[in-house]
Amino acid sequence: MVTVMTPVTVKVRTLEHFRGELPKYESRWASGCDVRAQLMGESIFLKPMERALVPTGLTVEIPPGYEIQVRPRSGLAFRQGLTILNAPGTIDADYRGEIKILVINLGQEVIAIKDQDRLAQLVLMPVCQLQWNLVSQLNETERGVGGFGSTGV
């Protein structure tokens, strides 16, 4: 069986400080495309537990019914402890400002983020908005109100 993925067009505009490549997929079936830090030659040094907002030099026009999620790159998270603080971050379809990546150093060493480092993954996801239906009672289930470990280890 051959899987064919149909791309969804997202308009992108680069800002004056953007250099290098647009975000791209690093493997054939990757779900996230890597986005690079745009630091104009400077570096950011993050001590353990410090966070920073890293510019990407990109603004986007996401089609209604979609969002872009900002996710950590697994290698950076595993090797250095660098992750996305609000993972997954959400870029809404009506946002037109610069995409900035909110990173945090959960590691034990200072991390250097350099200009053009591949910092995070951007994943396009469909979105369904909910409509609340206020009721006086919900249907019973076997689980009921059990949460936070109620189904076992």
CATH number at residue 106: 2.70.40.10
Do residues 66 and 140 touch, judged by C-beta distance below 8 A? no
Task: Identify the DSSP state of 151.
Answer: T
Let me know if residue 15 belongs to a domain: no
Tally of domains in the chain: 1
Residue 120 forms part of a structural domain: yes
3-state secondary structure 92-121: CCCCCCCCEEEEEECCCCCEEEECCCEEEE
d(CA 134, CA 138): 10
Structure tokens at 111: 């991390």
94 Cβ partners below 8 Å, 6+ apart? none
6 lies in some domain = no
What pTM was estimated for this model as a whole?
Answer: 0.87
Q: Which amino acid is at 78?
A: F
- Domain-embedded: residue 18: no
> pLDDT truncated to tens, each residue of the chain (153 aa)?
667 778 899 999 999 999 999 999 999 889 999 999 999 888 999 999 999 999 999 999 999 999 999 999 988 888 988 999 999 999 999 999 999 999 999 999 999 999 999 999 999 999 999 999 999 999 998 888 877 777 776
- The answer to whether position 139 is within a domain reads no
Domain range for 32: 27-126
Residue 153 lies in a domain: no
Q: In the chain, what is the straight-line distance between the N-terminal and C-terminal CA atoms, in Å?
A: 37
Amino acid in the structure at residue 11: K
pLDDT at 2: 67
